Amino acid sequence: MPYTDHFRLTDDLITHLDPIVAGLADPFIQSRYTGFLAISSVTVLELAMKSIFCNFAENKHKVLGNFCANYFSRVNGKIGFKIIEEEYTRKFGDKYSTRFTKQLDSLDITELAVRGYSIKSAYGNLITWRNCFAHQGFLPANASYGEVKQGYECGKTIMSCLAGCMVR
């Protein structure tokens, strides 16, 4: 399955939630929807990341693909870009880790200049907000619905960068 197929779940949720959240006057209810979006976003980004690595491994060798599928079945919620960079890509070789780091840094600089925000920061915030909501039941005051959507879009960009780096 292509890694991008996972995005459809959260993309459809956003399409559904956008008009609902725009019409809400109650900040508590809005924070609940925002928290659910954060959970959904990180979940599909994790699934996408696993697909990227497992597809890469399967294309290299069937046994490696099987090993990778088993390894990533135990990974749960550990999808920060530093973990991707330092733990996951390095397992496939330094060239993949170096390639990912360089391309992500370049992408981050470009996005900062063009859009005015860091994709790394937005992605990191999304993961932090998801963890707060999922494990503590609240969303930090600085987490808006729009910022969670932005973090999700940045996560999709990071997964695209990762997929581009994980090629022979």
Provide mean pLDDT across the span 68-87: 89
Band of pLDDT at residue 126, cut at 50, 70 and 90: very high
Rounded Cα gap, residues 131 and 36, in angstroms: 11
Over residues 52-63, the pLDDT tens digits come to 999 999 999 999
Q: Is the pLDDT of residue 102 over 90?
A: yes
What's residue 14's pLDDT? 98
pLDDT at position 116 is: 95
Cα(168)–Cα(150) distance, integer angstroms: 31
* pLDDT confidence of residue 30: 94
pLDDT at position 142 over 90? no
- Phi/psi of residue 20, nearest 5 degrees: -70, -50
Range from 81-85, 102-106, 153-157 carrying the lowest mean pLDDT: 81-85
* Predicted confidence (pLDDT) at residue 128 exceeds the cutoff of 90: yes
- The proportion of the chain whose per-residue pLDDT surpasses 70, expressed as a percent, equals 100
Say yes or no to pLDDT of 74 above 90. Answer: no
pLDDT tens for residues 5-33?
A: 999 999 999 999 999 999 999 999 999 99
pLDDT digits (tens, 9 = 90+) for 105-120: 999 999 999 999 999 9
In which band, very low, low, confident or very high, does the pLDDT at 77 lie, cut at 50, 70 and 90? confident
Provide the domain count of the chain.
1
Give 33: exposed, middle or buried? Use CB within 10 Å, 0-12, 13-18, 19+. middle
Residue 81 confidence (pLDDT) above 90: no
Domain that holds residue 45: 3-165
pLDDT at 162 over 90: yes
| 52 and 162 Cβ atoms separated by less than 8 Å | yes
Buried b (16+ CB within 10 A) or exposed e, 112-126: eeeeebebbebbbbb
